[in-house]
Amino acid sequence: MNLHSDDDVLVVALADLERAREACVILHRRYARRFMNYLRRRGLDHAAAEDAVQDAFVRLLQKASGFQPQGQGRAWIWRVARSAWLDNLRVSRLATEPLQGAHEQAAAVADVAVTSNYQDCVHGQLARFSEAYPEAGQAIVWAAVDGLKSTQIAELIGRSAGATREFLSQTRKRLREYLEPCLGLESS
Amino acid sequence: MHSDDETWFDALAGHAEPADAADAALQQAVRRAAVQLEDSAADALAERRLLARLEREGLLSPVRPAPRWRAPRLAQVAVIVLCVGVVVQISGVLPDAAPLRSQDAEPVAIQAHDSAEELVAQSAPAPAAEAPQARAFSPESARKSAAAPPASADVAAPMAGAMAQTERREAFAAPRAEPDVVLRLNNPAARWQELLSLVDKHEGLDALSRDDAQKRLRLRCAHRQACQALKDWLQSVGEAEQPLVPGQPLVLRLEARE
């Protein structure tokens, strides 16, 4: 049995008692750290974040039998996990985070000068951006790492179409501000 | 209708074309940085905790421990023990093997031989062709030695031991011995002489062993004609159903009809 193909296959396997363990292990190795990152950015300490990650996997196993494989397993996983966290009220800020960073852009820009490498600069600035705007940073990750479309991201963040459009616009604008200092390094 | 920002996100996700080369380069850099940020190194301890919780909550069936014999060390020990056991069995170095083969075995084997004779004598005649393989393995010499009186006590004991071993091997190789065909007759003495005369004068009828006291004759018909002659005689004494196979020994024993 090769379960490493895609997330749809893994989620389907979760509903199969004989394959559930193997699928769960693979999913945990694939997502647990990412869930942790997501939760830690929202201020949860390590223990609370780990509990929340477990809650997410419990919910995944409970919901797996209702999953319809249509190539959207990754979005489904994030949606179910986020739903579990919201239900437990452990991360109540998830749905209400305003897109106003806790840190000033000036502080982020000031640190950029220490690196002259373009990719390193982008990496550092994206980290700062995600720290300042966890939900926006997560949206970038969903798109860049998970390949989720804007409509799927909208569904995950649980906003209306108009609010999502504004959210994505603000996210892109803020990210560009963070990455502005790096753009001059690209040519060099 | 997608806005520019939604298109930008879709391009970042790989579902749309970037607006220009600069956007493409930036999105590529962001993708790399995002992957680095999302380092998904597995946490083995967290994994074990999760699996334990899922088992507790009945969402995963607990893993059954592998059978002990699957453990490599135990398997090696088992193989060694088996090999030693086989070697010991083959070489016969067990401490209790010697007395079994020399002293205790003799009376047991002889007794078994005699009992078999009695049992055969009391049972109904069995078809001679039922166990052709058993007859082929029968040690004729051992039977002759058993029928003959022992020369002396010194010779008899080792001979009996040898017979015991021969008979034991025979019992394993051919579990069923040649059954006697018991002929119950009104005048067995006369018929005995008649049978001896038939064997004596008919070429192809061979007497393999003979016991006049028991009126027991082990014989063999070498070819079809000889077998037919013997069959004719058997019919004349009322044993018409006895099948005869050329080359296979047959034991006839004559008894008085009660």
Q: What is the ipTM of this complex?
A: 0.79
Q: How close does chain B come to A122, measured CA to CA in Å?
A: 6
Chain A contacts of B62, Cβ < 8 Å? Answer: none
Q: What is the pLDDT of residue A170?
A: 93
* Interchain pair A140, B12: CB under 8 A: yes
Q: What is the pLDDT of residue B69?
A: 58
Point out which residues pair with B194 in neighbouring strands.
none
Helix (H) or strand (E) holding B83: helix B72-91
Chain B contacts of A140, Cβ < 8 Å? Answer: 12, 30, 34
Least-confidence region, from A37-41, A116-120, A150-154, B173-177: B173-177
Helices (H) and strands (E) in chain A, counts: 9, 0
User: Of the CATH numbers 1.10.1740, 1.10.3210, 1.10.287, 2.40.10, which one belongs to the domain with range A7-88?
Assistant: 1.10.1740
- B25, B30, B42: residue with CB nearest A140: B30
Q: How many angstroms separate the CA atoms of A36 and B58, rounded?
A: 24
Q: What is the pLDDT of residue B62?
A: 77
pLDDT at A152 over 80: yes
Q: How many angstroms separate the CA atoms of B80 and B184, rounded?
A: 60
Q: How many angstroms separate the CA atoms of A149 and A72, rounded?
A: 10
Q: How many angstroms separate the CA atoms of A60 and A25, rounded?
A: 12
Two structure tokens written together for B51: 């699996």
Least-confidence region, from A85-99, A107-121, B155-169, B173-187: B155-169
- A28, A30, A118: residue with CB nearest B29: A118
* Interchain pair A145, B53: CB under 8 A: no
Q: How many angstroms separate the CA atoms of B140 and B178, rounded?
A: 11
Side chain identity, residue A139 = A
- A20, A119, A130: residue with CB nearest B60: A20
Q: Does A123 touch chain B (CB under 8 A)?
A: yes
Exposure of B65 in the CB half-sphere (CA atoms within 13 A): 4
Q: What is the pLDDT of residue A53?
A: 92
Q: What is the pLDDT of residue B37?
A: 82
Angle between the N-to-C axes of helices A46-63 and B44-56, in degrees from 0 to 180, rounded to the nearest 10: 50
User: Where do the structural domains in chain A lie, given as residue ranges?
Assistant: 7-88, 105-187
Q: How many angstroms separate the CA atoms of A81 and A53, rounded?
A: 8
Chain A contacts of B36, Cβ < 8 Å? Answer: 123
pLDDT at A63 over 60: yes
Q: What is the pLDDT of residue B150?
A: 46
Two structure tokens written together for B162: 């040898």
Residue with tokens 């003959």: B148
3-state helix, strand, coil in chain B (%, to 5): 60, 10, 30
Q: Does B2 touch chain A (CB under 8 A)?
A: yes
3-state DSSP assignment of residue B255: strand
Least-confidence region, from A29-43, A52-66, A90-104, B87-101: A90-104
Decide if A52 contacts A91 (C-beta within 8 A).
Answer: yes
* Pairing relationship of beta strands B180-185 and B205-211 according to DSSP bridges: unpaired
Question: What is the average per-residue pLDDT within A175-184?
Answer: 88
* Cβ pairs A/B, distance under 8 A: 135
Q: What is the pLDDT of residue A1?
A: 45
Q: What is the pLDDT of residue B96?
A: 53
Assigned CATH for A105-187: 1.10.10
Q: What is the pLDDT of residue A97?
A: 52
User: Where do the structural domains in chain B lie, given as residue ranges?
Assistant: 99-256
Two structure tokens written together for B11: 């391009």
Mean pLDDT of chain A: 82
**Residues of chain B below pLDDT 70:** 1-2, 40-42, 64-72, 92-177
Decide if A131 contacts A137 (C-beta within 8 A).
Answer: yes
Question: What is the average per-residue pLDDT within A84-90?
Answer: 74
Q: How many angstroms separate the CA atoms of A3 and A64, rounded?
A: 15
| pLDDT tens digits for range B179-217 | 788 888 888 888 898 888 888 888 888 888 888 888 899
Decide if B8 contacts B24 (C-beta within 8 A).
Answer: no
* Interchain pair B61, A140: CB under 8 A: no
Q: Does B14 touch chain A (CB under 8 A)?
A: yes
Decide if B186 contacts B237 (C-beta within 8 A).
Answer: no
Q: Is the dihedral of CA B110, B112, B116, B119 positive or negative?
A: positive
Instruction: Look at residues A100, A170, A184, A126 and name the one whose alpha carbon lies nearest to residue B9.
Output: A170
Q: How many angstroms separate the CA atoms of B202 and A126, rounded?
A: 116
Q: How many angstroms separate the CA atoms of B167 and B109, rounded?
A: 7
- pLDDT confidence bin for A57, thresholds 50/70/90: very high
Q: How many angstroms separate the CA atoms of A123 and A101, rounded?
A: 18
The neighbour count for residue A170, using CB atoms within 10 Å, is 16
Phi first, then psi, for residue A65 (nearest 5°) are -65, -20
Q: What is the pLDDT of residue B190?
A: 87
Question: What is the average per-residue pLDDT within A158-162?
Answer: 83
Kindly state the percentage of chain A with pLDDT values over 70: 81
Q: How far is CA A12 from the centre of its chain?
A: 22
Question: What is the average per-residue pLDDT within A144-169?
Answer: 88
Q: What is the pLDDT of residue A72?
A: 85
Instruction: Look at residues A5, A17, A2, A129 and name the one whose alpha carbon lies nearest to residue A64.
Output: A17
